[in-house]
Chains A and B, each alone.
Chain A
């Protein structure tokens, strides 16, 4: 038996101490300090419970609602709360409102997360529902207002909350990106990150020895329970997640906040705090993990790949990120969080207070969280058109020292609009369009090197047409050269090529 395995105290013993009012409870920050001064062993002996906290955007959140029956009754098949659609593939007056659902009238400004916050604040909410009508449910339309008190049940059930840690984000591209990781300035202009690090519940019980199905937690200012591992639970990489539930009617809107990420979407900020019973030395040790011991990878959101394929730019720690600056390619880059460390701290404090006042008792999990499991990507089995299939391989190009008139003639003779400019070794150095040439002639410029665009938007031949069409729309351009790894031009693709393909596709039907 490993020394760290030896049980110091049981959850039952801890609860008896809470009842007697002599449990020793520290927040994770206080536990770190104690371990630094007296060592982990002494801290493990002294401390019964370490409280944790996190407060961040958790998109996989939502609430099960039961509206009650109207007279005459309706079997709601479509339903909206403040114009935000509610999932209605359930019984007549049951629904699920997801935090990331967008308002059909206010777009990114308002959504499911905001409705949840408004419900908890006791605000009046517009309810609208439709149905096809049935003998037992004759009503086909309903419009009324509700508050949380009118509902029979409002149960927060969040399929994925409380990520153990999360990759940070930066942007190598030349354009500002608006993402679920916030505003990312061009050319590695900033780094954003999320997660409570040394206060995060799963970081403090790194081996999932105390948190499992049935663990009682602080959820949104009320009491909730862990009901299992969350979706995308990826313990082997240190990205554990939790599925949680709690009674929304007993929560507090201070700890459940609707949020909008500009040009991305809406979400819900959820406050979660979990008590870690110090049952053995190994748990005590992980409960003293510090920000400077928790690794975070900074990924490049300038590359539009799936999350785990975005290139890792750097490995840092939460301490580095929280310092306000990190170094990328020798340059100082400002870093800041998206989740609130201040609120995470507050939650750990509130939970500590609840326990000390005898209002909150710990539970033993009925089943542990899975410690194995990896994240799989979604394979696209249906064939998607790629650049390779649509690009033209015979590319008319020019050299930087070519005369403007000569280039203009090329465009006319070949009937094209885009002219990639290449160096002697075939590498792409610029591009000119018919519009550039018209202006160059009007302004009496002489050589392409004077007028060409040097920062060229390009495509790779293995990319999907969809990705490249999105890129062209973002840059308001109508064509991009296709380049290989050495930046040599191997083709060109234009919006014309893509629209022709669409027309062909339709005529085939």
Chain B
């Protein structure tokens, strides 16, 4: 599951993510990170489900980190898309690929909502859904 972790100024300097990783043993992958003295925002992928996932999320919340699940991020207008491929190589996480018949294929779990593809699309076929902008 992909989640957005929002660190408030009070906790931004604490090694919370490291703590969660070391205590749960989960291989949490950082997909995107924006950290400065005032605020921190990470998009991470937690390779787990069920109890273990809930435990990790609860640990973040106890430490003062706001956790938001990232569900749908990118919308593809199939009428406008021509499967040209202009969005594919600029995508930093390979969330956009061709399927075997050269149709554009999108993998939700890999998307970090960076918006690079939105500008790369010549047909205005891609939009980031509201609230998912990184």
Contacts and interface: CB of A to CB of B under 8 A. Distances in A.
Given A182-B90, A183-B90, A334-B88, A340 B82 contact: yes
Interface string B86-119: 1111110010011001110000000000001001
A324 interface: yes
Q: Which of B83, B90, B116, B123 has its CB near the most chain A CB atoms (within 10 A)?
A: B90
A260 interface: yes
Interface stretch (A156-164, A276-284, A295-303, A341-349): A341-349
Interface in B56-108: 82-91, 94, 97-98, 101-103
A267 B82 CA distance: 15
Nearest to B97: A324
B47 interface: no
Contacts of B89: 185, 190-192, 334-336
Contacts of A189: 90
Interface in A40-75: 55-57
A262 B119 contact: yes
A261 B84 CA distance: 13
A200 interface: no
B49 to A, nearest CB: 30
Interface residues on B, range: 20 to 34
Contact of A336 (B86, B101, B119, B122): B86
Nearest to A190: B89
Contacts of A192: 86, 89
A241 interface: no
B85 A338 contact: yes
A269 interface: yes
Interface string A112-133: 0000000000000000000000
B128 interface: no
A56 to B, nearest CB: 8
B9 interface: no
Contacts of A324: 88, 97-98
Contact of B123 (A190, A259, A337): A259
A257 interface: yes
A340 B83 contact: yes
A506 B97 CA distance: 55
Interface in A75-110: 109
A56 B82 CA distance: 10
B85 A337 contact: yes
Contacts of B84: 55-56, 269, 337-340, 343
A269 B83 CA distance: 12
A329 B108 CA distance: 31
Interface string A172-210: 000000100011010001111000000000000000000
A257 B89 CA distance: 22
A337 B122 CA distance: 12
Nearest to B82: A340
Interface in A449-500: none
Interface in A435-456: none
Given A178-B119, A261-B122, A334-B94, A342 B103 contact: yes
Contact of B122 (A269, A335, A343): A269
Nearest to A185: B90
B116 A345 contact: no
Contact of A342 (B88, B102, B122): B102
A338 B86 contact: yes
Contacts of A56: 84
B85 A260 contact: no
A169 B103 CA distance: 22
A160 to B, nearest CB: 18
A269 B86 contact: no
Nearest to B122: A259
A340 B87 CA distance: 12
Contacts of A191: 89
A342 B123 contact: no
A74 B88 CA distance: 49
A257 B82 contact: yes
A336 B89 CA distance: 5
Interface string A403-427: 0000000000000000000000000
B124 to A, nearest CB: 7
Given A262-B120, A338-B84, A340-B82, A190 B98 contact: no
Nearest to B83: A342
Contacts of A267: 122
27 contacts: A55-B82, A56-B84, A57-B122, A182-B120, A183-B86, A190-B89, A191-B89, A192-B89, A260-B123, A260-B124, A267-B122, A269-B122, A334-B88, A334-B89, A337-B84, A337-B88, A339-B85, A340-B82, A340-B83, A340-B85, A341-B85, A342-B83, A342-B102, A342-B103, A343-B82, A343-B83, A345-B102
A-B pairs with lowest CB-CB distance, top 7: A336-B88, A259-B122, A336-B89, A190-B89, A342-B102, A337-B85, A262-B119
Given A340-B82, A340-B102, 10 more contacts: A182-B86, A185-B89, A192-B89, A260-B124, A261-B122, A334-B89, A335-B89, A336-B89, A337-B88, A342-B103
